[in-house]
Amino acid sequence: MQQHFIGGQWVASASGETLPVIDPSTGETFDQLARGNAEDIDRAVRAARAAREGAWGRLTATERGRILCRMSALILEQHEELAQLEARDTGKPLTQARADITVAARYCEFYGGAADKLHGEQIPYLNDFHVVVMHEPYGVTAHILPWNYPAQMFGRSVVPALAMGNAVVLKPSEDACLTPLAFCRIAEQAGLPAGALNVVTGLGEEAGAALTAHPDINFVTFTGSPEVGRLVQRAAGDRLIKCVLELGGKSPQIVFADADLDRAEATILKAITQNAGQTCSAGSRLLVQRSVHDEFVARVVKRFEGSRAGSPAMDLDCGPLINAAQKQRVEGFIRRAIDSGVPMLAQGRVAAGVPAGGYYVAPTVFGPVPRGHELACDEVFGPVLSIIPFDDEEDAVRLANATDFGLLAGIWTRDGSRLIRMAKRMECGQVYLNCYGAGGGVELPFGGVKHSGHGREKGFLALEEFCVIKTVVQFHGE
Ligand code: NAD
């Protein structure tokens, strides 16, 4: 039975209610989770406020950093156990789960080291004045996370907030929250003062909505779908507090005729099958220059034909989707594409011997997908690739930017000037040139434009997101 972590204590929900924890690779329930409500959220926010005004708020930046570095070391010590937990909770292949835990540890190391490196500045002003600019924590920060990378998301969202001295209330996804809870145990072992980190599990419309509506939070950061992002931003607007949104994507990989096709080909499949396509930055649109279209698409099709979905232990191209609703949603996209006459070019296989109740969907590729079709515009969040041909550079830019999203873009060409021209014209937050994605990429500022959200996570820059800038002006006389 998984309980909330509030004020340094493991506690049941005020209502006593629970939710099932389901293994996506079998469809079976293997644990229960506390179902938090507004009362639990209120307890967590009060505990966070008390920590901020108490022991946690009194620590120096260096002391905070040391605690995060100890967390990093403990995560690495318990690496395999945590990877198995992540794989069971999310269904992802073990290799991916292991990589995710390594990245979570790296976030703690990176932000632990950075905690005392964000320095203020002194501004030359009038002769009789001394002016300094300081970075201060917001106070209590609220974090709402999705289910696709619970361990990495904890590192990405919660850890920099702690590094800056905020007290955190986290509402992880009801579909995957076991590693964030395990990280609370690790935080205890690392000496994090009680109340600095609080986790309330439960449903979005109950615990999540109660958190965003709580009058005593100072900041909210949300990672998830654009639909819920709108609700969160509205709730933040009602409270007039800062809101960071990390939402979805429909990221293009653009392959020009002069590209290193071998290198591009090897990357295309992984960019859409990683985490069964349930990755905000998945390369879900493949734009191929017409003159090389047939040759390159034939290669991609071959890769898809050889691809397989299986259980975490099978460790194949992808695991199952997270739940029955997500499987149904992805299968709906596939069915509608077929019904509307979009050619299905290839479909991999679901491996023999997977449990019948698991939520598996084989990697699938469609093309040419008509411009404006839902497969060309909407986020599927599954292992489905849409191929679209383009004529020239101008056409590629138009097509790449022709969705509501703007998270990543990948550009493949041997023409160095074109790489830079294209990078400048992409409407998105990260551009990859002759490569795609960055694994953890802990150091690299990340975030979207348009419906992919606003604000930046990752990298040193993320520390500033979690700080209030205060300018102090002193008159000292002549
Ligand atoms: P979701 O929006 O359904 O849920 C995300 C979180 O919000 C969950 O914890 C959920 O419980 C909570 N929630 C739901 N309703 C709520 C409400 N009314 N008030 C407050 N909280 C509420 O998203 P999901 O299905 O878990 O994740 C998939 C989506 O997340 C995709 O669109 C994906 O692209 C996006 N995503 C984006 C990034 C990024 O960094 N840009 C990363 C991962 C996932």
User: What tokens were used for 197?
Assistant: 């980190």
From first to last of its 478 residues, the chain has per-residue pLDDT tens of: 999 999 999 999 999 999 999 999 999 999 999 999 999 999 999 999 999 999 999 999 999 999 999 999 999 999 999 999 999 999 999 999 999 999 999 999 999 999 999 999 999 999 999 999 999 999 999 999 999 999 999 999 999 999 999 999 999 999 999 999 999 999 999 999 999 999 999 999 999 999 999 999 999 999 999 999 999 999 999 999 999 999 999 999 999 999 999 999 999 999 999 999 999 999 999 999 999 999 999 999 999 999 999 999 999 999 999 999 999 999 999 999 999 999 999 999 999 999 999 999 999 999 999 999 999 999 999 999 999 999 999 999 999 999 999 999 999 999 999 999 999 999 999 999 999 986 779 999 999 999 999 999 999 999 999 999 999 999 998 7
Identified catalytic residue from 174, 206, 246, 457: 246
Specify the pTM: 0.97
Provide the CATH topology of domain 4-247+453-473.
Aldehyde Dehydrogenase; Chain A, domain 1 (3.40.605)
Euclidean distance between CA atoms 95 and 87, whole angstroms = 9
Question: Rounded to 10 degrees, what is the CA torsion of 234, 238, 242, 244?
Answer: -10
Q: Is 457 in the pocket of ligand 1 (CB under 6 A)?
A: no
Euclidean distance between CA atoms 268 and 303, whole angstroms = 9
Provide the CATH topology of domain 252-441.
Aldehyde Dehydrogenase; Chain A, domain 2 (3.40.309)
Give Cα separations from 384 to 250, 369, 381 (angstroms).
11, 12, 8
Q: Is 184 assigned a catalytic role?
A: no
Q: Is 121 assigned a catalytic role?
A: no
| DSSP-based helix, strand, coil % in the chain, nearest 5 | 40, 20, 35
CATH 3.40.309.10 domain locations along the chain: 252-441
CATH 3.40.605.10 domain locations along the chain: 4-247+453-473
Atom of ligand 1 minimally distant from the CA of 453 = 41
**CB proximity list for 116: less than 8 A, separation 6 or greater:** 60, 61, 62, 64, 65
Q: 178-190 and 94-114 are packed helices; what angle lies between their axes, rounded to 10 degrees?
A: 40
Ligand 1 centre to CA of 122 (Å) is 40
Q: Is 147 in the pocket of ligand 1 (CB under 6 A)?
A: yes
Residue of the nearest CA to atom 11 in ligand 1? Answer: 204
User: What tokens were used for 159?
Assistant: 């850890």
Top mutation candidate among 173, 227, 272, 408 for ligand 1, by most atoms within 8 Å of CB:
173
